[in-house]
Amino acid sequence: DLQGVIDWAAFVEGSTQGVLPAAERVTSESRLVCLSPALGVNAALLVDRLMGLRQPGDFLGAQPIADPQQPFMRQTLQDNNGQWWTELDLQMLCADERFLDVAA
């Protein structure tokens, strides 16, 4: 299957200004994260690195995110080590017009 690759850093920033080109950021830690076919899109996210999966019990607290430009970012969560994580709503992400705009 052919999959579109979305540069996650550039997508979240809303432009490529201030973000190094992907060709300059790709390292041995960079990954393509394929989205589930159940979401109805053939897409993968280019991320600079993965830090692993976490379980709900790994977090101490959460704060909702209310960003109308990025409604797919649901909340930030703090883990037991003080690291902050952002929870994504992948269904909302896959419905976002900017995300679906292959030419962007």
Q: What pLDDT was estimated at residue 73?
A: 94
Q: What pLDDT was estimated at residue 15?
A: 62
Residue at 4: amino acid letter: G
Digit-coded pLDDT (tens) for 23-77? 777 889 999 999 999 999 999 999 988 887 888 889 998 999 988 889 999 999 9
The pLDDT confidence band at residue 9, using thresholds 50, 70 and 90, is confident
The pLDDT confidence band at residue 94, using thresholds 50, 70 and 90, is very high
pTM for the model stands at 0.80
Output the CA torsion sign for 97, 5, 46, 35. positive
Instruction: Report DSSP letters for 15-69, one per residue.
Output: SSTTS--HHHH--TT-EEEEPPGGGS--EEEEES-------GGGEEEEEE---TT
Q: Is the pLDDT of residue 104 over 60?
A: no
Q: Which residues pair with 6 in a beta bridge?
A: 45
Separation between Cα atoms, residue 30 and residue 12, nearest integer Å = 17
Q: What pLDDT was estimated at residue 16?
A: 59
